[in-house]
Amino acid sequence: MGALSLFQLDGRRALVTGAGQGIGFALARGLAQAGAAVVLNGRRAEALEQAAATLRAEGLDAATLAFDVTDADAARAAIDGFEAATGPIDILVNNAGIQHRAPLEDFPPEAFQRLLQTNVASLFNVSQPAARHMIARGRGKIINIASVQSMLARPGIAPYTATKGAVANLTKGMAADWARHGLQCNALAPGYFDTPLNAALVADPAFCDWLERRTPAGRWGKVEELAGAAVFLASDASSFVNGAVIHVDGGITATV
């Protein structure tokens, strides 16, 4: 097998959570361009169908599976039902996430709970049922979306930082438990990307100036720049990579 063929995803199916827009949609597109059939997840079926239609118009194989990742029972029922009716989920990308910005001393407790449920509990809710099927087959790929905030903190987002630190460590825990069953469980840690989640920061000239000076690459990331790393982690090219957190951040975590 040639080196380039290791990156091909033909004949594999990838479920991407939070795939209606932003990073999730870009990751789904990149995996589909590498040959995977992609299944877009989110809570709003209409928005998902619009996103899937965009991919289909590009000649890509895209379907939808709407469910709430914060609901463990709904996630299990959706994944078990999909596997029974349609076929195996070979690749899982846990991308769903939210942000809430406020000084820590004023941070609303209910917002903290929403962050925990969406950014951390959802990984457990979706990964556990998906992994059970993968374990039975002796193979599978799980890619969690961490962040530069898995390692670094910034004022006003302490609870988000806590959740992304948990994502990185839960990824390591998945690898510790599931690598022996043939699964590769890893994480991507994006830096600052121009996405709907960061719209307030993108619109802030002072923040953009700080970011461009702080990041060695001198700019915001483009969501399509995450696709290559995702394809690597989803493919046979990463068959002995487990528990890794790969930073795609323009060098921001490499410098002081």
* Residues assigned a catalytic role: 160
Helices (H) and strands (E) in the chain, counts: 9, 7
- 96, 121 in Cβ contact below 8 A? no
- Count other Cβ atoms within 10 Å, centred on residue 73: 10
Task: Report d(CA 93, CA 147) in Å as an integer.
Answer: 14
- 205, 190 in Cβ contact below 8 A? no
CA dihedral 117, 247, 152, 242 (to 10 degrees): 60
Point out which residues pair with 243 in neighbouring strands. Answer: none
